[in-house]
Protein backbone atom coordinates (compact mmCIF):
# COMPACT_ATOMS: atom_id res chain seq x y z
CA UNK A 1 0.00 0.00 0.00
CA UNK A 2 1.40 3.38 -1.05
CA UNK A 3 0.84 6.38 1.19
CA UNK A 4 -1.02 8.67 1.23
CA UNK A 5 -4.01 6.40 0.55
CA UNK A 6 -7.56 7.77 0.16
CA UNK A 7 -10.85 5.86 0.34
CA UNK A 8 -14.53 6.66 0.81
CA UNK A 9 -16.14 5.34 3.99
CA UNK A 10 -19.48 5.35 5.77
CA UNK A 11 -19.68 6.82 9.29
CA UNK A 12 -21.50 4.87 12.00
CA UNK A 13 -23.86 6.44 14.54
CA UNK A 14 -20.97 6.16 17.06
CA UNK A 15 -18.84 8.35 14.78
CA UNK A 16 -16.57 5.48 13.75
CA UNK A 17 -15.17 4.50 10.38
CA UNK A 18 -13.97 1.05 9.36
CA UNK A 19 -10.61 0.35 7.73
CA UNK A 20 -11.20 -1.58 4.47
CA UNK A 21 -10.39 -5.30 4.72
CA UNK A 22 -8.09 -5.06 1.69
CA UNK A 23 -5.66 -2.96 3.77
CA UNK A 24 -4.24 -6.02 5.54
CA UNK A 25 -1.00 -4.24 6.45
CA UNK A 26 -2.96 -2.09 8.93
CA UNK A 27 -3.63 -4.21 12.01
CA UNK A 28 -5.13 -4.02 15.48
CA UNK A 29 -3.36 -1.52 17.79
CA UNK A 30 -1.58 0.26 14.92
CA UNK A 31 -1.81 4.07 15.16
CA UNK A 32 -2.99 5.89 12.04
CA UNK A 33 -2.45 9.53 11.06
CA UNK A 34 -4.42 11.20 8.31
CA UNK A 35 -7.34 13.47 7.62
CA UNK A 36 -11.08 13.41 6.84
CA UNK A 37 -12.75 15.37 4.04
CA UNK A 38 -16.45 15.87 3.47
CA UNK A 39 -17.71 14.85 0.04
CA UNK A 40 -18.87 18.44 -0.46
CA UNK A 41 -15.76 20.14 0.96
CA UNK A 42 -12.02 19.79 0.21
CA UNK A 43 -10.99 21.12 3.62
CA UNK A 44 -8.92 18.50 5.56
CA UNK A 45 -9.80 17.63 9.17
CA UNK A 46 -6.78 15.80 10.71
CA UNK A 47 -6.99 12.75 12.98
CA UNK A 48 -4.42 10.62 14.83
CA UNK A 49 -6.00 7.46 16.22
CA UNK A 50 -5.23 3.92 17.35
CA UNK A 51 -7.05 1.14 15.51
CA UNK A 52 -9.47 -0.84 17.70
CA UNK A 53 -9.81 -4.64 17.81
CA UNK A 54 -12.74 -4.36 15.38
CA UNK A 55 -10.61 -2.32 12.92
CA UNK A 56 -12.49 0.90 13.64
CA UNK A 57 -11.15 4.36 14.36
CA UNK A 58 -13.25 6.92 16.17
CA UNK A 59 -13.45 10.41 14.67
CA UNK A 60 -16.10 12.05 16.84
CA UNK A 61 -13.73 14.86 17.87
CA UNK A 62 -13.86 16.15 14.26
CA UNK A 63 -17.53 17.14 14.70
CA UNK A 64 -16.63 20.18 16.77
CA UNK A 65 -14.75 21.66 13.81
CA UNK A 66 -17.66 21.33 11.39
CA UNK A 67 -20.08 24.21 10.74
CA UNK A 68 -23.08 21.96 11.47
CA UNK A 69 -21.35 20.15 14.38
CA UNK A 70 -22.54 16.97 12.70
CA UNK A 71 -20.65 14.34 10.66
CA UNK A 72 -22.26 13.32 7.36
CA UNK A 73 -23.02 9.67 6.64
CA UNK A 74 -20.06 9.32 4.25
CA UNK A 75 -16.62 10.91 4.18
CA UNK A 76 -13.29 10.67 2.35
CA UNK A 77 -10.50 9.25 4.50
CA UNK A 78 -6.82 9.80 3.68
CA UNK A 79 -4.18 7.78 5.54
CA UNK A 80 -0.82 9.57 5.61
CA UNK A 81 1.18 7.56 8.18
CA UNK A 82 0.93 4.18 9.89
CA UNK A 83 2.70 3.63 13.21
CA UNK A 84 2.98 -0.12 13.78
CA UNK A 85 2.24 -1.41 17.28
CA UNK A 86 5.27 -2.30 19.43
CA UNK A 87 5.03 -6.03 18.77
CA UNK A 88 4.81 -5.50 15.03
CA UNK A 89 7.37 -2.69 14.85
CA UNK A 90 10.18 -5.13 15.56
CA UNK A 91 12.09 -5.40 12.29
CA UNK A 92 15.19 -7.32 13.39
CA UNK A 93 15.97 -9.78 16.16
CA UNK A 94 18.90 -12.12 16.70
CA UNK A 95 18.14 -15.19 18.81
CA UNK A 96 20.64 -17.89 19.81
CA UNK A 97 20.11 -21.49 21.00
CA UNK A 98 22.93 -23.63 22.41
CA UNK A 99 23.55 -26.59 24.66
CA UNK A 100 23.12 -25.58 28.31
CA UNK A 101 23.71 -28.52 30.66
CA UNK A 102 22.32 -31.00 28.16
CA UNK A 103 19.33 -28.88 27.13
CA UNK A 104 19.16 -26.96 23.86
CA UNK A 105 17.88 -23.66 25.13
CA UNK A 106 17.57 -20.04 24.04
CA UNK A 107 20.55 -18.26 25.58
CA UNK A 108 20.26 -14.85 23.90
CA UNK A 109 17.85 -12.55 22.11
CA UNK A 110 18.36 -8.92 21.06
CA UNK A 111 14.71 -8.37 22.04
CA UNK A 112 12.56 -10.93 23.87
CA UNK A 113 10.45 -12.70 21.23
CA UNK A 114 6.71 -13.03 21.61
CA UNK A 115 5.60 -16.32 23.20
CA UNK A 116 4.26 -17.88 19.98
CA UNK A 117 7.48 -17.03 18.14
CA UNK A 118 9.67 -18.48 20.88
CA UNK A 119 7.60 -21.69 20.93
CA UNK A 120 8.09 -22.07 17.19
CA UNK A 121 11.87 -21.59 17.53
CA UNK A 122 11.98 -23.98 20.51
CA UNK A 123 10.29 -26.67 18.41
CA UNK A 124 12.50 -25.98 15.37
CA UNK A 125 15.61 -26.30 17.58
CA UNK A 126 14.49 -29.57 19.17
CA UNK A 127 13.67 -31.05 15.73
CA UNK A 128 16.98 -29.84 14.30
CA UNK A 129 19.09 -31.35 17.10
CA UNK A 130 17.14 -34.62 16.99
CA UNK A 131 17.83 -34.88 13.23
CA UNK A 132 21.49 -33.93 13.77
CA UNK A 133 22.18 -36.60 16.38
CA UNK A 134 20.18 -39.17 14.40
CA UNK A 135 22.53 -38.69 11.44
CA UNK A 136 25.66 -37.09 12.83
CA UNK A 137 27.66 -37.74 9.66
CA UNK A 138 25.29 -35.74 7.45
CA UNK A 139 26.62 -32.51 5.97
CA UNK A 140 24.66 -29.45 7.14
CA UNK A 141 24.70 -26.06 5.45
CA UNK A 142 25.67 -23.05 7.51
CA UNK A 143 22.62 -21.07 6.36
CA UNK A 144 19.50 -23.23 6.64
CA UNK A 145 16.31 -22.74 4.62
CA UNK A 146 14.47 -19.54 5.68
CA UNK A 147 10.79 -19.81 6.58
CA UNK A 148 7.87 -17.40 6.97
CA UNK A 149 5.78 -17.07 10.15
CA UNK A 150 2.26 -16.09 9.14
CA UNK A 151 1.14 -15.19 12.66
CA UNK A 152 3.83 -12.55 13.24
CA UNK A 153 4.42 -11.66 9.57
CA UNK A 154 8.16 -12.33 9.97
CA UNK A 155 10.84 -14.21 8.07
CA UNK A 156 13.22 -16.43 10.04
CA UNK A 157 16.66 -17.29 8.66
CA UNK A 158 18.35 -20.04 10.75
CA UNK A 159 22.15 -20.19 10.85
CA UNK A 160 24.06 -23.27 12.01
CA UNK A 161 27.53 -22.94 13.56
CA UNK A 162 29.54 -26.03 14.49
CA UNK A 163 31.51 -25.63 17.74
CA UNK A 164 33.68 -27.92 19.87
CA UNK A 165 32.05 -28.96 23.14
CA UNK A 166 33.97 -29.79 26.32
CA UNK A 167 34.68 -33.31 25.02
CA UNK A 168 36.10 -32.08 21.72
CA UNK A 169 33.10 -33.15 19.65
CA UNK A 170 31.52 -30.81 17.10
CA UNK A 171 27.96 -29.78 18.01
CA UNK A 172 25.69 -27.14 16.48
CA UNK A 173 24.74 -23.74 17.82
CA UNK A 174 21.71 -22.15 16.15
CA UNK A 175 21.31 -18.47 15.42
CA UNK A 176 17.95 -17.18 14.19
CA UNK A 177 17.67 -13.89 12.33
CA UNK A 178 14.05 -12.77 12.69
CA UNK A 179 13.20 -10.18 10.04
CA UNK A 180 10.27 -8.10 8.89
CA UNK A 181 9.39 -8.32 5.20
CA UNK A 182 11.31 -5.13 4.46
CA UNK A 183 14.37 -6.29 6.40
CA UNK A 184 14.21 -9.72 4.79
CA UNK A 185 14.57 -8.09 1.38
CA UNK A 186 17.54 -6.08 2.68
CA UNK A 187 18.95 -9.29 4.17
CA UNK A 188 18.86 -10.94 0.73
CA UNK A 189 20.41 -7.89 -0.92
CA UNK A 190 23.29 -7.90 1.61
CA UNK A 191 23.66 -11.67 1.89
CA UNK A 192 27.29 -11.85 0.72
CA UNK A 193 28.32 -9.37 3.44
CA UNK A 194 26.33 -11.23 6.09
CA UNK A 195 27.85 -14.53 4.95
CA UNK A 196 31.37 -13.07 5.33
CA UNK A 197 30.61 -11.80 8.84
CA UNK A 198 29.18 -15.16 9.94
CA UNK A 199 32.16 -17.01 8.45
CA UNK A 200 34.59 -14.77 10.34
CA UNK A 201 32.63 -15.38 13.53
CA UNK A 202 32.69 -19.13 12.85
CA UNK A 203 36.48 -19.06 12.37
CA UNK A 204 36.92 -17.06 15.60
CA UNK A 205 34.76 -19.20 17.92
CA UNK A 206 36.51 -22.05 19.68
CA UNK A 207 34.16 -23.01 22.52
CA UNK A 208 30.49 -22.88 23.54
CA UNK A 209 31.11 -20.23 26.19
CA UNK A 210 31.93 -17.76 23.40
CA UNK A 211 28.17 -17.58 22.81
CA UNK A 212 27.65 -15.10 25.63
CA UNK A 213 25.70 -11.84 25.90
CA UNK A 214 28.73 -9.68 25.05
CA UNK A 215 29.60 -11.62 21.88
CA UNK A 216 26.04 -11.95 20.60
CA UNK A 217 25.15 -8.35 21.38
CA UNK A 218 28.12 -7.17 19.30
CA UNK A 219 27.19 -9.57 16.49
CA UNK A 220 23.58 -8.36 16.58
CA UNK A 221 24.69 -4.76 16.20
CA UNK A 222 26.98 -5.64 13.28
CA UNK A 223 24.27 -7.63 11.50
CA UNK A 224 21.76 -4.83 11.92
CA UNK A 225 24.25 -2.29 10.51
CA UNK A 226 24.73 -4.45 7.43
CA UNK A 227 21.01 -5.10 6.90
CA UNK A 228 19.76 -1.60 7.69
CA UNK A 229 22.64 0.60 6.48
CA UNK A 230 24.65 -1.74 4.22
CA UNK A 231 27.61 -0.97 6.51
CA UNK A 232 30.12 -3.73 7.25
CA UNK A 233 32.43 -3.79 10.27
CA UNK A 234 35.89 -2.41 9.56
CA UNK A 235 37.82 -5.66 9.12
CA UNK A 236 41.56 -5.63 9.79
CA UNK A 237 43.81 -7.76 7.60
CA UNK A 238 47.50 -8.31 8.33
CA UNK A 239 48.49 -5.22 6.37
CA UNK A 240 46.22 -3.08 8.55
CA UNK A 241 47.52 -4.73 11.73
CA UNK A 242 51.14 -4.08 10.73
CA UNK A 243 50.32 -0.41 10.16
CA UNK A 244 49.13 0.05 13.77
CA UNK A 245 51.36 2.01 16.19
CA UNK A 246 54.24 -0.16 17.47
CA UNK A 247 52.86 -1.10 20.88
CA UNK A 248 49.31 -1.68 19.62
CA UNK A 249 50.66 -3.86 16.80
CA UNK A 250 52.67 -5.96 19.24
CA UNK A 251 49.69 -6.37 21.58
CA UNK A 252 47.37 -7.44 18.74
CA UNK A 253 49.85 -9.96 17.29
CA UNK A 254 50.35 -11.58 20.70
CA UNK A 255 46.58 -11.64 21.33
CA UNK A 256 46.03 -13.27 17.91
CA UNK A 257 48.57 -15.96 18.73
CA UNK A 258 46.92 -16.65 22.11
CA UNK A 259 43.29 -16.65 20.92
CA UNK A 260 43.06 -20.45 20.67
CA UNK A 261 44.32 -20.65 24.23
CA UNK A 262 41.39 -18.56 25.44
CA UNK A 263 43.31 -15.28 25.44
CA UNK A 264 46.19 -13.99 27.52
CA UNK A 265 46.28 -12.38 30.97
CA UNK A 266 47.12 -8.70 31.25
CA UNK A 267 50.05 -9.57 33.51
CA UNK A 268 51.58 -12.04 31.03
CA UNK A 269 51.00 -9.70 28.09
CA UNK A 270 52.68 -6.84 29.95
CA UNK A 271 55.70 -9.02 30.61
CA UNK A 272 55.96 -10.06 26.95
CA UNK A 273 55.82 -6.53 25.51
CA UNK A 274 58.24 -5.24 28.20
CA UNK A 275 56.17 -2.16 29.04
CA UNK A 276 54.49 -0.83 32.16
CA UNK A 277 51.05 -2.24 32.98
CA UNK A 278 49.63 1.29 32.93
CA UNK A 279 50.78 2.00 29.38
CA UNK A 280 49.71 -1.42 28.13
CA UNK A 281 46.27 -0.95 29.74
CA UNK A 282 45.81 2.41 27.97
CA UNK A 283 46.55 0.86 24.56
CA UNK A 284 44.34 -2.16 25.24
CA UNK A 285 41.45 0.10 26.24
CA UNK A 286 41.84 1.97 22.94
CA UNK A 287 41.89 -1.27 20.94
CA UNK A 288 38.85 -2.56 22.85
CA UNK A 289 36.97 0.69 22.19
CA UNK A 290 37.59 0.19 18.47
CA UNK A 291 36.24 -3.38 18.63
CA UNK A 292 39.60 -5.00 17.91
CA UNK A 293 40.16 -6.64 21.30
CA UNK A 294 37.92 -7.69 24.15
CA UNK A 295 38.62 -7.74 27.88
CA UNK A 296 36.96 -10.00 30.44
CA UNK A 297 37.57 -11.12 33.99
CA UNK A 298 38.46 -14.70 34.82
CA UNK A 299 39.01 -15.26 38.53
CA UNK A 300 41.38 -12.53 39.68
CA UNK A 301 42.87 -11.99 36.22
CA UNK A 302 42.01 -9.67 33.33
CA UNK A 303 42.03 -11.63 30.04
CA UNK A 304 42.82 -10.03 26.67
CA UNK A 305 41.47 -11.67 23.51
CA UNK A 306 40.90 -10.77 19.87
CA UNK A 307 37.54 -10.33 18.14
CA UNK A 308 36.43 -11.64 14.76
CA UNK A 309 37.07 -8.43 12.81
CA UNK A 310 40.82 -9.26 12.69
pLDDT for residue 269 = 93
Q: What sections of the chain are H helices per DSSP?
A: 86-89, 115-134, 181-189, 191-204, 213-229, 238-242, 246-258, 266-273, 277-289
Q: What is the pLDDT of residues 111-131, one digit of tens each?
A: 888 888 899 999 999 999 999
Residues of the chain with pLDDT > 70, as a percent, come to 95
Q: Is the pLDDT of residue 47 over 80?
A: yes
| Geometric angle at alpha carbon 152, from 150 and 156, rounded to 5° | 80
pLDDT for residue 2 = 66
The DSSP symbol for 53 reads T
pLDDT for residue 166 = 72
Rounded to whole angstroms, the Cα distance separating 256 from 258 reads 5
Mean pLDDT computed over 170-185: 92
pLDDT for residue 88 = 44
Q: Is the pLDDT of residue 201 over 70?
A: yes
pLDDT for residue 25 = 63
pLDDT for residue 200 = 94
Q: What is the pLDDT of residues 243-270, one digit of tens each?
A: 999 999 999 999 999 998 889 999 999 9
Rounded to whole angstroms, the Cα distance separating 133 from 143 reads 18
Q: Of the segments 83-92, 205-214, 283-292, which one has the largest average pLDDT value? A: 283-292
pLDDT for residue 125 = 95
Mean pLDDT computed over 203-214: 85
Rounded to whole angstroms, the Cα distance separating 13 from 63 reads 12
Q: Is the pLDDT of residue 277 over 50?
A: yes
Q: Is the pLDDT of residue 86 over 60?
A: no
Amino acid sequence: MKLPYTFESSVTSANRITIPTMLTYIETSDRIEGYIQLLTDDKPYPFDKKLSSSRHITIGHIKSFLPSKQLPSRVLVTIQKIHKSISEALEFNLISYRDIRGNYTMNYSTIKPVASEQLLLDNFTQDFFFAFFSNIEAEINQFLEPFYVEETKKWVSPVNLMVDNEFGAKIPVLLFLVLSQDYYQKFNDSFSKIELLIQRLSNWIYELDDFNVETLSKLSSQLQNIIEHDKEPEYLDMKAILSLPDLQREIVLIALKEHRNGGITLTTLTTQVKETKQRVSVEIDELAKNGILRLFEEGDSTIIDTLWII
